[in-house]
């Protein structure tokens, strides 16, 4: 099967975007950034429940760490005040550091867990931290040039056959 | 000041901010120039310093409040938007700390506004934790810049207080010459400061209250929590801390530099059910498959069989059921029986499988060998190991048949052979090794593995196979599976010894070598053997030898029939096994294992025996033709037929000969016995193609929307809302009121209702259009 980059045009070649699942924010604790760990039914046959939950919980913990009010954030604020906020030109804020960590984590999860299952996580920051977007891709014959609306059944069956052969 | 697309530059909106900036900078500059020098001299040099710092602070916060992104939400993508089609409600309730908060759909931004978010009409953006739009800074005040706005207010208030106070000091000290320039200017500055003092301080006080109560201006002005509870408050101190000390939130609109997305989407994709079912088996199958070598697959199957068999064959070992007995013995005491089986086996020609279960041959039964973890994880490895063991068996068959083979020595040899075999297997499958590792349950869930192998009398298989191998010197020599190049060695020991595991290394070594022999729960078969006393095992062995020879003779004649039979029942068995072991794709590989199925036949329920026998006979006949080729051909045949017949081939070619004995117990259980069961297994366990996902492709790019409560969303002129996806993906636009293609025309009555209406004409509506 042709390898697929996360690029819409290239995706059409072999793995087409089938649908997207959006994990909404969990506001039960106020406006702190955390996402619902409820397992969406669309992913039921694509990924194991605990893998998904573990990913979301890890992300939630990252965001909690980013928003934590502690000594570091206080010092950062004081330093910024003292330098008339010129420090922001030179230094990365604590939140931004954690966001980079999150981005790396999401990429790693995509590579190791989600991409092999035909899923792709989108960093919530790109969506304004409102949702975690999970793109579900369907197996599709590399030669298939059908539109993205083509049946997923054929795609999955071909994927299954391919998988069988591959295995 | 972030500007949403589509807005034009309006000079009018810059007037307040320009005025505010001019007044601030101008007045302060005048103050510093005209008032501070005298104050420096008369009062203290600290005055200008204090005022200077304060002014700098005011400027910095003013700039931050003016130019910082307040927390603008980017517009939602189309595909996110389509989830909430226009028939969705305008409000969505969400529970925040037990209080229902209403989230409103933003028609501009295409998402439900998070709590505390509001859409700024001036900026045309949804802003997180929206406070208000401040014209004096020409910016929304939101989550990100509220702190700077608040500090600006505080510092400006302080600065104004300072300016007015020090100006007053100056003026009072220059009261005699109020007409002087400096004094006049100072008074003008004081007037300006005094003029804006009341509003600024008033606003500052207002925001101090808001901060302590944890509310936004928007919430306060719209009276959201009037008389109610604010779910967003963190307590007075917590609220102040949150405003002043919380980390600076990130910008959403501008994408930060991201790491390149290296994830590659390579179909076929993994599926949870596939992973759950197959992983351990999968690898093994491929490993034990045709390419991996007959022995391996065979052994695997045999292991399965052994697992199944024990129930059928009791501990006593009648001559006929020897093969089965071994299997059953191995099976029953599965978890810990491996050791016993091994020990028992030792007395008689030790089964390589058994040996695997039991690392230290001479050691007491069960003692060392299968630790629970070992057993648990060993399932997979056991299977694979079985394959290798079987191959070993075959290799050593000739030697095993030697009557003068001393049990202990044989056992030792076996153990050594097993170890060597495992080593070979491990080396052979280097890649498999890696693949196998993850499949094996590392001591974790023994049950799954066990369950997988439960139906397969793995131990029995092993036992029987090994027994067969012992009894059937037919395929000694090099025909043995590639793992045992020394198969042809006359002595039982040779292959094993060649393998290189001298003596009886403790179990760990074999395991360490071969992934197959890894932490697999070998206990099933070995245990069985261990349970038997040595003398009994020896006698059984002898009987098996005799029967094996008889069967060989019979198999010649029965080969033809046996093939078919083999394919029938054992196939089902093997299929079952195959199903358990791997998904469909691995069928061929499974077939190899089917040999084990065949071997396990007797134990499996008796049904196998006849099939096994036939298969064995066929195998033996095949083997006689050409050991390796026949077995392989059989195997392929079996693979194609999916029958257990292949089983004999699955094992090393030696197995055919050996297989005959396994079925020996002579209980020709009707094939039907195993048949239904096997069939059931087939149905249950056969890998099915991955379920096709009922993904709704149509979501993307569809455009069948009606304008619901939310009203028509704003879209740039000329931009079709459903622009996501290829043009050909879009179904043709149709008005909401027009019927969908294929839908019955309005007023058409379905048959059911037509019938009903005919029965109850009075109940039918005014329009009765009959189709």
DSSP string, B137-200: TTEEE-TTTHHHHHHHHHHHHHHHHHHHHHHHHHHHHTGGGTTSHHHHHHHHHHHHHHHHHHHH
Chain B residue closest to A4 (CA)?
B265
Chain B residue closest to A108 (CA)?
B263
| Contact between B241 and A153 using a beta-carbon 8 Å cutoff | no
Which pLDDT band, with edges at 50, 70 and 90, does B715 fall under? low
Residue B89's pLDDT is what?
82
Q: Taking CB atoms and an 8 Å cutoff, what residues of chain B touch A160?
A: 268, 689-690, 692
Supply B53's token pair: 């710092």
Closest in A45, A110, A149 to B698, CB measured:
A149
Closest in A115, A133, A163 to B268, CB measured:
A163
Nearest Cα of chain A lies from the Cα of B725 at a distance, in angstroms, of 7
Q: Which has more confidence, A18 or B653?
A: A18
Q: Taking CB atoms and an 8 Å cutoff, what residues of chain B touch A4?
A: 264-267
Residue B119 reports pLDDT greater than 80: yes
Q: Taking CB atoms and an 8 Å cutoff, what residues of chain A touch B282?
A: 167
Residue B711's pLDDT is what?
54
Handedness of CA B414, B419, B424, B425 (dihedral sign): positive
Closest in A11, A27, A88 to B265, CB measured:
A11
Residue B31's pLDDT is what?
92
Nearest Cα of chain B lies from the Cα of A110 at a distance, in angstroms, of 6
| Contact between B269 and A139 using a beta-carbon 8 Å cutoff | yes
| Contact between A103 and B245 using a beta-carbon 8 Å cutoff | no
Residue B531's pLDDT is what?
55
| Contact between A148 and B259 using a beta-carbon 8 Å cutoff | no
ipTM of this complex: 0.79
Average pLDDT over residues B301-328: 45
Closest in A73, A156, A161 to B693, CB measured:
A156
Residue B80's pLDDT is what?
74
CA distance linking residue A54 with residue A39, whole number of Å? 11
Residue B239's pLDDT is what?
93
Chain A residue closest to B435 (CA)?
A167
Q: Taking CB atoms and an 8 Å cutoff, what residues of chain B touch A84?
A: 56-57, 59-60
Catalytic residue check, B134: yes
Chain A residue closest to B432 (CA)?
A167
Domain boundaries, chain A: 9-137
| Contact between A77 and B244 using a beta-carbon 8 Å cutoff | yes
Nearest Cα of chain A lies from the Cα of B245 at a distance, in angstroms, of 5
DSSP string, A77-136: HHHHHHTTTTHHHHS--HHHHHHHHHHHHHHHHIIIIIGGGTEEEE-GGGGTTSEEEEEE
CA distance linking residue B603 with residue B669, whole number of Å? 10
Crossing angle for the helix pair B627-641 and B608-625, nearest 10 degrees? 140
Contacts of residue A77, defined as CB under 8 A and 6 or more positions apart, other chains included, come to B147, B244, B245
Average pLDDT over residues B156-173: 92
Average pLDDT over residues B665-675: 42
Say how many CB pairs under 8 Å bridge A and B: 265
| Contact between A129 and B274 using a beta-carbon 8 Å cutoff | no
Q: Taking CB atoms and an 8 Å cutoff, what residues of chain B touch A123?
A: 258
Q: Taking CB atoms and an 8 Å cutoff, what residues of chain B touch A6?
A: 261, 263, 265
The contacts found for B163-167 with CB under 8 angstroms, 24 or more apart, are: B163/B27, B163/B28, B163/B31, B163/B51, B163/B189, B163/B190, B163/B193, B164/B190, B164/B193, B164/B194, B164/B197, B166/B31, B166/B35, B166/B36, B166/B39, B166/B43, B166/B47, B166/B51, B167/B31, B167/B35, B167/B193
Residue B494 reports pLDDT greater than 60: no
Nearest Cα of chain B lies from the Cα of A57 at a distance, in angstroms, of 19
Which pLDDT band, with edges at 50, 70 and 90, does B257 fall under? low
Q: pLDDT tens digits for B61-70?
A: 999 999 999 9
Interface probe for B, chosen from A112, A128, A150, A162 (most Cβ of B below 10 Å), is A128
Average pLDDT over residues A132-155: 57
Supply B146's token pair: 């509220």
Interface probe for B, chosen from A21, A31, A54 (most Cβ of B below 10 Å), is A31
Which pLDDT band, with edges at 50, 70 and 90, does A117 fall under? confident
Residue B419 reports pLDDT greater than 60: no
Average pLDDT over residues B168-179: 86
Q: Which has more confidence, B334 or B173?
A: B173
Which pLDDT band, with edges at 50, 70 and 90, does A116 fall under? confident
CA distance linking residue B469 with residue B641, whole number of Å? 25
Q: Which has more confidence, A34 or B629?
A: A34
Residue B286 reports pLDDT greater than 50: no
Residue B534 reports pLDDT greater than 60: yes
CA distance linking residue B402 with residue B470, whole number of Å? 8
| Contact between A125 and B252 using a beta-carbon 8 Å cutoff | yes
Mean pLDDT comparison of B422-431, B529-538, B589-598, highest-scoring range: B529-538
For chain B, give the percent of residues with pLDDT over 70. Answer: 34
Residue B48: left (phi > 0), alpha (psi -120 to 50), or beta?
alpha
Residue B540's pLDDT is what?
77
Closest in B242, B249, B690 to A163, CB measured:
B690
Residue A63's pLDDT is what?
92
Residue B730's pLDDT is what?
52
Nearest Cα of chain B lies from the Cα of A61 at a distance, in angstroms, of 16
Residue B207 reports pLDDT greater than 90: yes
Which pLDDT band, with edges at 50, 70 and 90, does B651 fall under? very low
Residue B602's pLDDT is what?
42
Q: Taking CB atoms and an 8 Å cutoff, what residues of chain A touch B101?
A: 27
Residue B86's pLDDT is what?
65
Average pLDDT over residues B274-301: 48
| Contact between A103 and B258 using a beta-carbon 8 Å cutoff | yes
| Contact between B259 and A103 using a beta-carbon 8 Å cutoff | yes
Which pLDDT band, with edges at 50, 70 and 90, does B59 fall under? very high
Supply B579's token pair: 């199903």
Using CA atoms, how far residue B332 sits from B160, B372, B390, B467, B603, in Å, is: 91, 16, 20, 17, 11
Handedness of CA B471, B473, B479, B480 (dihedral sign): positive
Closest in A28, A96, A128 to B73, CB measured:
A128
Closest in A4, A68, A149 to B729, CB measured:
A149
Average pLDDT, chain B: 61
Closest in B246, B255, B691 to A67, CB measured:
B246
Query: Cα Rg for chain B, rounded, in angstroms?
Result: 43
Average pLDDT over residues B76-90: 71
Residue B188 reports pLDDT greater than 60: yes
Please state, as a whole number, how many other Cβ atoms lie within 10 Å of the Cβ of residue A12: 18
| Contact between A127 and B77 using a beta-carbon 8 Å cutoff | yes
Indicate the range of A56-60, B33-37, B562-566 predicted with least confidence.
B562-566
Given the residues B120, B123, B134, B669, the one annotated as active site: B134
For chain B, give the percent of residues with pLDDT over 90. Answer: 18
Residue B208 reports pLDDT greater than 80: yes
Which pLDDT band, with edges at 50, 70 and 90, does B55 fall under? very high
Residue B316's pLDDT is what?
47
Residue B190 reports pLDDT greater than 60: yes
Strand partners, A16: A138
Nearest Cα of chain B lies from the Cα of A88 at a distance, in angstroms, of 10
| Contact between A20 and B64 using a beta-carbon 8 Å cutoff | no
């Amino acid at each position: 099967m042709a390898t697929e980059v996360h690029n819409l045009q290239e995706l059409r070649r072999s793995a087409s975007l089938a649908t997207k699942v959006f994990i909404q924010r969990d506001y039960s604790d106020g406006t702190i950034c955390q996402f619902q760990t409820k397992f969406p039914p669309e992913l039921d046959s694509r990924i194991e429940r605990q893998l998904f939950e573990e990913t979301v919980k890890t992300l939630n913990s990252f965001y909690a760490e980013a928003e934590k009010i502690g000594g570091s954030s206080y010092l950062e604020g004081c330093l910024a005040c003292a330098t008339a906020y010129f420090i922001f030109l030179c230094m990365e804020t604590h939140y931004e550091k954690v966001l980079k960590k999150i981005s790396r984590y999401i990429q790693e999860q995509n590579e190791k867990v989600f991409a092999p299952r035909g899923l792709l996580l989108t960093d919530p920051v790109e969506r304004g931290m409102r949702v975690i977007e999970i793109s579900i891709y369907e197996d599709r014959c590399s030669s298939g040039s059908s539109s993205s609306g083509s049946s997923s059944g054929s795609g999955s069956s071909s994927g299954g056959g391919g998988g069988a052969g591959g295995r | 000041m972030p500007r949403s697309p589509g807005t034009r530059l309006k000079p009018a909106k810059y007037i307040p901010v320009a005025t505010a900036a001019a007044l601030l900078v101008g007045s302060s500059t005048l103050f510093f120039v005209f008032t501070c020098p005298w104050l420096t001299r008369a009062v203290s040099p600290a005055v200008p310093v204090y005022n200077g710092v304060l002014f700098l602070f005011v400027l910095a916060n003013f700039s931050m409040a003016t130019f910082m992104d307040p927390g603008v939400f980017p517009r939602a993508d189309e595909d996110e938007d389509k989830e909430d089609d226009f028939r969705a409600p305008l409000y969505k309730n969400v529970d925040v700390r037990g209080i229902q908060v209403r989230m409103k759909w933003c028609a501009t931004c295409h998402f439900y506004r998070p709590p505390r978010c509001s859409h700024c009409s001036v900026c045309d953006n949804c802003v997180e934790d929206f406070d208000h739009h401040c014209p004096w800074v020409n910016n929304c005040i939101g989550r990100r810049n509220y702190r700077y706005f608040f500090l600006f207010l505080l510092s400006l208030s302080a600065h104004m207080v300072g300016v007015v106070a020090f100006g007053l000091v100056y003026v009072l000290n220059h009261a005699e010459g109020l007409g002087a320039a400096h004094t006049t200017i100072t008074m003008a500055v004081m007037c300006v400061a005094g003029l804006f003092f009341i509003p600024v301080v008033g606003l500052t006080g207002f925001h101090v209250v808001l901060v302590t109560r944890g509310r936004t201006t928007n919430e306060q002005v719209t009276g959201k929590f009037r008389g109610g509870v604010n779910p967003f408050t963190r307590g007075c101190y917590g609220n102040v801390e949150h405003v002043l000390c919380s980390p600076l939130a990130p910008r959403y609109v501008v994408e930060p530099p991201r790491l390149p997305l290296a994830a590659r989407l390579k179909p076929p994709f993994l599926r949870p059910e596939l992973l759950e079912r197959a992983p351990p088996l999968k690898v093994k199958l491929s490993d034990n498959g045709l390419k991996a070598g007959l022995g391996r697959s065979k052994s695997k199957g045999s292991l399965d069989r052994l697992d199944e068999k024990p129930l059928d064959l009791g501990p006593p070992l009648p001559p006929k059921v020897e093969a089965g007995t071994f299997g059953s013995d191995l099976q029953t005491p599965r978890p810990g029986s491996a050791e016993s089986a091994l020990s028992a086996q030792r007395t008689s020609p030790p089964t390589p499988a058994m040996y695997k279960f039991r690392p230290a041959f001479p050691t007491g039964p069960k003692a060392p060998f299968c630790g629970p973890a070992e057993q648990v994880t060993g399932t997979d490895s056991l299977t694979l190991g079985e394959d290798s063991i079987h191959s070993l068996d075959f290799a050593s068959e000739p030697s095993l048949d030697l009557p003068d083979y001393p049990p202990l020595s044989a056992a030792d040899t076996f153990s050594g052979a097993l170890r060597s075999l495992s080593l070979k297997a491990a080396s052979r499958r280097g890649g498999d090794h890696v693949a196998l590792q993850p499949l094996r349950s590392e001591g974790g869930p023994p049950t799954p593995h066990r369950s997988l192998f439960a139906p397969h009398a793995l131990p029995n298989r092993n036992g029987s196979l090994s027994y067969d191998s012992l009894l059937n010197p037919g395929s000694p020599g090099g025909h043995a599976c590639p793992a045992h190049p020394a198969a042809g060695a006359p002595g039982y020991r040779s292959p094993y010894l060649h393998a290189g595991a001298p003596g009886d290394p403790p179990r760990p070594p074999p395991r360490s070598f071969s992934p197959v022999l890894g932490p697999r729960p070998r206990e099933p078969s070995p245990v069985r053997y261990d349970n038997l006393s040595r003398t009994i095992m020896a006698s059984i062995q002898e009987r098996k030898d005799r029967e094996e020879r008889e069967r060989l003779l019979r198999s010649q004649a029965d080969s033809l029939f046996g093939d078919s039979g083999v394919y029938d029942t054992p196939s089902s068995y093997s299929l079952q096994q195959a199903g358990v072991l791997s998904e469909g794709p691995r069928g061929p590989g499974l077939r190899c294992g089917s040999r084990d199925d065949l071997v396990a036949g007797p134990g499996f329920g008796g049904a196998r025996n006849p099939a096994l026998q036939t298969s064995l006979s066929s195998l033996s006949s095949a083997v006689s033709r050409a050991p390796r080729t026949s077995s392989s051909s059989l195997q392929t045949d079996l693979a194609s037929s999916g029958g257990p017949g292949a089983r004999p081939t699955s094992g090393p070619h030696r197995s055919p000969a050996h297989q005959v004995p396994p079925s020996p117990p002579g209980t020709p259980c009707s094939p039907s016995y195993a048949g239904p069961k096997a069939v059931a297994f087939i149905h249950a366990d056969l890998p099915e193609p991955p379920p096709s996902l009922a993904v709704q492709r149509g979501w993307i790019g569809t455009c069948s929307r009606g304008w619901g409560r939310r009203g028509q969303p704003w879209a740039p002129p000329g931009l079709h809302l459903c622009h996501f996806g290829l043009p050909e993906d879009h179904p043709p636009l149709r008005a909401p009121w027009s019927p969908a293609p294929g839908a019955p025309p309005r007023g058409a009555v379905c048959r059911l209702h037509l019938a009903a209406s005919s029965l109850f004409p009075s109940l039918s509506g005014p329009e009765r259009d009959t189709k």
